[in-house]
Amino acid sequence: MIHLTRLNHLPLVLNADLIEWIEATPDTVISLTTGQKLVVLESAEEVVRRVVEFRRAIYSGALLGPSIPGGRGASGDAAVVAGGDRIEHGTDRDNRAGS
């Protein structure tokens, strides 16, 4: 999601996955895959920059939420449940506190 500004200065948050194309005519017009068109104050270059920044954050893990202490087991066969507790798959035991 990227933050943009409509021509009337009202903020909007746009799902970047819906952008089909952007044109500068001289206003920036964003055409969505839904057929809707949005006119925003930001330049086409700025919209592209924000989309790229958003995607980089996703791929780097910055938007995936808090990291889970302990991660996965060495064999990759552990699951993490709510509260950060680990459950080892393929065994009859779990490693949750109080169990």
Task: Give me the phi and psi of 70, to 5 degrees please.
Answer: 90, -30
pLDDT confidence band for 70 (50 / 70 / 90): low
User: Above 70 in pLDDT, residue 82?
Assistant: no
Q: Is the pTM of this model over 0.85?
A: no
pLDDT tens, 2-61?
999 999 999 999 999 999 999 999 999 999 999 999 999 999 999 999 999 999 998 888
Q: How far apart are CA 69 and CA 51, in angstroms?
A: 30
Closest to 23 measured CA to CA, from 12, 38, 4, 1: 38
Cβ–Cβ under 8 Å, residues 42 and 91 = no
> What confidence category does residue 63 fall into, taking pLDDT thresholds of 50, 70 and 90?
low
Ordered domains of the chain (ranges, CATH): 2-60 (2.40.50), 69-93 (no CATH)
